[in-house]
Amino acid sequence: METISLPEPKTKGKISVEEALFKRRSYRKFTAENLSTDEISQLLWAAYGRNKYCKVVPSAGAIYPYEIYINLVDGIYEYKSDRHTILKVVEGDKSRELYYAGLQQKCIKDAKAIIILAVNYEKIKMRYGDRGIMYAHFEAGHIAQNICLQAEALNLGSVCIGAFNEKEVESILNLQNLKAIYMICVGRI
């Protein structure tokens, strides 16, 4: 499978965290223009990348039970934060399939990047039992908020999608031992 090295993430932006929070909203309409490699790099780094200490989001017991996937125009990629790369795991744009799995929400079909959070519940339950499920959901919120704030800082739109057929999404991504629990659509506005 094809591996792509991403540009180094920027650690200083054009707007403050406060301004990104003030401007953040959900966008469901996107233009047809693709995202740049720099923008994709920045979004994935904000989702689950590494800072100088650890990953950019907190995780109960530093377990980090998530895998991050992104659907782009040429395929679905898995984000590898340890090398800041993406690995193609599915050939071809799957926006149409994700659109149907996502209950035909138009923003899914129109987004130029669909970031999918897939969790390994067993990984976190080994340490925390069933309470680990709650901790994993907290972590999904941290990841999604980082993506939305980063999108705002890049002058992109984003919307979080929780209403979708999990089994269909898991099938599209060929997931094994992972549960798809959240999708974040990103595009130009």
**What pLDDT, on a 0 to 100 scale, did the predictor assign at position 16?**
93
pLDDT below 50 — which residues of the chain?
none
List Cα–Cα distances, 54 to 99, 131, 181, in angstroms: 34, 23, 23
**What pLDDT, on a 0 to 100 scale, did the predictor assign at position 73?**
93
**What pLDDT, on a 0 to 100 scale, did the predictor assign at position 1?**
76
Instruction: Give the Cα separation of 27 and 58 in Å (integer).
Output: 26
**What pLDDT, on a 0 to 100 scale, did the predictor assign at position 9?**
95
**What pLDDT, on a 0 to 100 scale, did the predictor assign at position 181?**
97
Instruction: Give the Cα separation of 163 and 185 in Å (integer).
Output: 13
Q: What is the DSSP string of 98-166?
A: HHHHTTT-HHHHH-SEEEEEEE-HHHHHHHHTTHHHHHHHHHHHHHHHHHHHHHHHTTEEEEEE--S-H
Instruction: Give the Cα separation of 130 and 135 in Å (integer).
Output: 9
**What pLDDT, on a 0 to 100 scale, did the predictor assign at position 188?**
97
Reference 187, options 21, 72, 20, 67; nearest CA is 72
Domains and CATH numbers, the chain: 27-188 (3.40.109.10)
Instruction: Give the Cα separation of 153 and 64 in Å (integer).
Output: 25
pTM of the model: 0.96
